[in-house]
Amino acid sequence: MEPPRHRKHTYPLPPALRSSTESGDRTAQYHEKSGWIYGRSKNTLERIQDDRYQKNRETNIHWPFQSRAEWRLGKFLAENLTQAQINTFLKLDWLDGQKPSFTSACQLLDWMDTLPSGPGWQVMQLEVDGYDTGKKIDLIYRDGLEVVESLFGNPIFAQNMTFDPLRIQRNGEEEYGEWFTAQEATRIQDTLPDGATLVPVIAASDKTPITRYMGGLEMHPLFLTIANIDADVRMKATAHAWRCVAFVPVVKFEVHSDYQTILQSRLWHKCVDIVTEKLKRATNCGEFMADPFGDVRCCYTPLVAWTADLPEQQLIATKPWDLNAFQKLAKANHLLGVHLPFWRDWKNSDVCCFLVPEILHTVHKLFFDHVLKWCKEVVGSDELDTHYKVHHKHVGVRHFAAGVSHVSQMTGREYRDIQRTIVPMIAGAAPSTMVRPVHALIDFFYLAQRPLHTESSIRSMEASLSEFHSTKHAIITASGRSGKENFNIPKLELLLSFADAIRRSGSLIQYSADVSERLLITHCKTPFARTNKQPNFAEQIVRLLDREERMRLLDVYLLLHEYNEPLVNAASDEEDLLCSADPTSAWVSHVAPGEQYHFNSPRPTRNIFTDGISSSGATAALSVTITPDRTKLRIVDIGDIYMLPDFTTRLEEYILQCTGGSTSHSIFQSFNEIMVWHKFCIQRYSVSRPSTIMPSQVVQAQPPSTSFPLGNCDAVLLNVDGQSQHNPDHVAQVRVVFRMTRSHRSQEPPPPFLAQPLLYVQPFHIIATPESQLDTCLWMLERVYSPSLRPTSACHVGFILPLTEVCHSADLVPAFGKEVDRTVTLATSQEVYQRFYLNYYTNKEAFDTLYEYRSVQI
């Protein structure tokens, strides 16, 4: 091999160092003795060519299929139909003129089995000496090291990988995001030989029933990925950054029930031991692997994180015991009594470190099981349901039309949707002393989910948790929780470990079980549903899983040959690639947009910044559809259609202001028609990670209709001058989105201030700041009325400004008070109520919104 060389400058930058719009001093320092290169080899996709059928593919790349079309047909049939259905399809009369070269389902599946393959699946039968299970114990697995090597060398992830620990300093503070920026990365690298490359292993598992067709079969699917792949990619289940490596069986031993759990736990650890045996060997001695660029590195594979719920964590975190005395000691100490845990000989893998806090089951489940229950007890289930029913509905945000207490079990997404509005929903209906600890805990939840942390943000998170504990007695006082129950909640105690876990392992959102919960369906229940209850179902699963792996690899392999543009050469600096949640989809859209529908991948985020309208200050991008929702309206008609009697007057004021006081009569003669849109989109960069573009948000401005008699309009934050006489407080409701157009007789080009979309908005006045409201820490707003008229919907103060003055969408929650007026509905609440909370929790990316709204100078 060549002598070792240092890191190439062509490798992609880690997420923390990519292009950023963020201001502030930021420095980065790589580890001095990591990442040497020892030669050249083939990456994962290049290695799949080295099988015994490669000569057949030299003349026909689609072999054994005759053409690309026949391969697509075969893939579709194998993925979607049973063997009987495939045979029926092949016998259809309309196929007589163009029958494929395979004549039966058996032949098609045999052909699929000759395709290039990745790490192979296998079955191992296990026995537990001295104990009978009644059924054979089949471990379905593949070698963990082969899977890790396949991931590490996969060019699909070439532009989304990090190879070296680095320390980020932002404004003098340590920054923690990806695992490679955390303390454990530097600590482990320091223990390795000079030039070693870390390939940190992240695992996930969860006990799940395979109920369909399998007679109540249960197992523990085991998944692996590597921390080298960016967290944004790993967090998408359809990006294929996670690989299933084992189906650990759950068997019932024919023993006394007191020993059932002990034996099942021992069996689980034994199975994981088999799967990870070579990974542990590589951690001790190192293993030469090729990265996506074909550079050979000496790699070490410590276990750095394990995503699991609390019962699964208890299964993993058992304590070794002497074989002869473990039963009595284990029972006395509430331990499982496993004497050979799988991690006992895994170097640099500490169970206290790799069992990271898990957001889905610890944070969101804690909210649903306890915090929401406290709110229901204090406010009343019916009253709280009514608050959610009449709350204004936003596009893209879950609305609870039936309330929040109608079901006993929800999904993680529903937990998060309720959290976003729980504080303003209970404000006024619950005692302020009880709202304060709830608000403090919700703040902690949101801060804990940030993708980037500094010591300041960690201190803020700890301060929120401390505030909760110092004020939580008010929940008992308000009868939200029985005094006998106290607060001895295991999940609540786990929150104390979050700060140290962030410093050790990076942001916790990257270890959320949302991904593994999705993988349980796509990689476990769905494949097993395609088998039957025959005794050899394990062999069926092995063949099925191998076949799916072959088909997925071949799709990318064929595109590589057809378009002759390697994945590793994809332009990593292009915004459309950076914004994509899936690197495969990004590359396919780059070289072959017409092929995207063949790949199961997340929908890429539309980048409005490339073709939209930039807001003033370029902090946001705005977009309206090419075709307006309504065209050729007269100016005088807007007041009647939108119930805005002062629209014409405000438009004249806007024109006079833009022309420096000149008359607006000639402009009205030339531009006497208006185009109207009912919505526009706004998009921003992530506040926590400025190189990431967030999904766009829709802002509605619909006129009164049968469904919404007072209109359906959203609120925004504005970027206008703080001294403006119209809107000193920067928060307004959008009533009309429009643009003036010239009449048929006029050939005069529009002046610049009329050439862009305009908004008619109605402002809100801030009557209370977060500092003055210790219970909610929210801004309280009030509608602005004409001083000479009584407060009715017809006399709201309004004004006109360019669309570019919008900087953020906003969610307003009415100040419902002690009890909601039962005549108010979803369609009228935004107009009937006069006071609102500016809710900084509502956003698809909650951690961004909390950070940003508190930093905005409103």
- Give tens-digit pLDDT for 705-757: 999 998 999 999 887 554 443 344 588 999 999 988 876 655 666 777 887 89
Q: How would residue 305 be classed by pLDDT, with cut points 50, 70 and 90?
A: very high
Give dist(CA 732, CA 636) in Å, integer.
23
- Give tens-digit pLDDT for 437-457: 999 999 999 889 888 899 998
Residue 217 has pLDDT above 80, yes or no: no
Residue 212 has pLDDT above 80, yes or no: no
For residue 269, the model assigns a pLDDT of: 92
Kindly state the helix (H) or strand (E) to which residue 673 belongs, with its residue range. strand 673-677
- Give tens-digit pLDDT for 552-570: 777 777 776 666 555 565 4
Residue 529 has pLDDT above 90, yes or no: no
Place of tokens 């006079």: 656
Please name which of 507, 379, 384, 373 lies closest in space to residue 441, comparing C-alpha atoms: 373
Cβ pair 471, 436 in contact under 8 A? yes
Place of tokens 């390939």: 199
Give dist(CA 170, CA 17) in Å, integer.
11
The pair of structure tokens assigned to 671 is 């531009």
Give me the helix-helix angle, 537-563 and 68-80, nearest 10°: 150
Give dist(CA 294, CA 121) in Å, integer.
25
Give dist(CA 183, CA 168) in Å, integer.
11
Name residues whose C-beta falls within 8 Å of residue 3's C-beta, 6 or more positions apart in sequence.
Answer: none
In the β-sheet with 166-170, what is the strand arrangement from edge to edge?
26-30, 166-170, 173-176, 453-454
The pair of structure tokens assigned to 189 is 């690298």
Place of tokens 């002869």: 324
* Amino acid in position 343: W
Give dist(CA 308, CA 314) in Å, integer.
9
Asked which of 376-385, 388-397, 719-728 is least confident by mean pLDDT, the reply is 719-728
Give dist(CA 169, CA 148) in Å, integer.
31
Q: Is 13 helix (H, G, I), strand (E, B) or coil?
A: coil
Dihedral sign, CA of 689, 691, 695, 699?
positive
Residue 622 has pLDDT above 90, yes or no: no
Higher pLDDT, residue 447 or 259: 447
Burial level of 298, CB count in 10 A (0-12/13-18/19+)?
buried
Query: Which of 104-113, 182-191, 207-216, 580-589 ranks highest by mean pLDDT?
Result: 182-191
For residue 854, the model assigns a pLDDT of: 45
For residue 847, the model assigns a pLDDT of: 39
Give dist(CA 815, CA 834) in Å, integer.
8
Name residues whose C-beta falls within 8 Å of residue 444's C-beta, 6 or more positions apart in sequence.
Answer: 461, 464, 465, 468, 495
Higher pLDDT, residue 431 or 743: 431
The pair of structure tokens assigned to 389 is 């029913």
Residue 64: is the preceding peptide bond cis (ω within 30°)?
yes
Higher pLDDT, residue 852 or 241: 241
For residue 462, the model assigns a pLDDT of: 94
Residue 299 has pLDDT above 50, yes or no: yes
Mean pLDDT (the chain) is: 81
pTM of the model: 0.86
For residue 398, the model assigns a pLDDT of: 81
Give me the helix-helix angle, 432-448 and 846-855, nearest 10°: 110
For residue 603, the model assigns a pLDDT of: 60
**CB count, 10 Å around CB of 597?**
9
Give dist(CA 280, CA 536) in Å, integer.
31
Give dist(CA 220, CA 250) in Å, integer.
7
For residue 320, the model assigns a pLDDT of: 43
Query: Which of 210-224, 288-302, 595-609 ranks highest by mean pLDDT?
Result: 288-302
Please name which of 113, 121, 123 lies closest in space to residue 551, comparing C-alpha atoms: 113
Q: How would residue 858 be classed by pLDDT, with cut points 50, 70 and 90?
A: very low
Residue 267 has pLDDT above 70, yes or no: yes
**CB count, 10 Å around CB of 645?**
12
Please name which of 247, 480, 531, 282 lies closest in space to residue 376, comparing C-alpha atoms: 480
**CB count, 10 Å around CB of 848?**
22
3-state secondary structure 699-729: EEEECCCCCCCCCEECEEEECCCCCCCCCCC
* DSSP letters spanning 512-536: -THHHHHHHIIIIIHHHHTS-S-TT
Give dist(CA 645, CA 638) in Å, integer.
8
Cβ pair 285, 255 in contact under 8 A? no
Alpha carbon distance, N-terminus to C-terminus of the chain:
62
The DSSP code for 142 is -
Residue 611 has pLDDT above 70, yes or no: yes
Q: How would residue 279 be classed by pLDDT, with cut points 50, 70 and 90?
A: very high
Asked which of 17-26, 471-480, 779-788 is least confident by mean pLDDT, the reply is 17-26
The DSSP code for 845 is S
Cβ pair 734, 802 in contact under 8 A? no
Tell me the Ramachandran region of residue 171: left when phi exceeds 0, alpha when psi lies from -120 to 50, beta otherwise: left
Q: How many Cα atoms occupy the beta-carbon half-sphere of 232 within 13 Å? A: 26
Residue 591 has pLDDT above 70, yes or no: no
* Amino acid in position 158: A
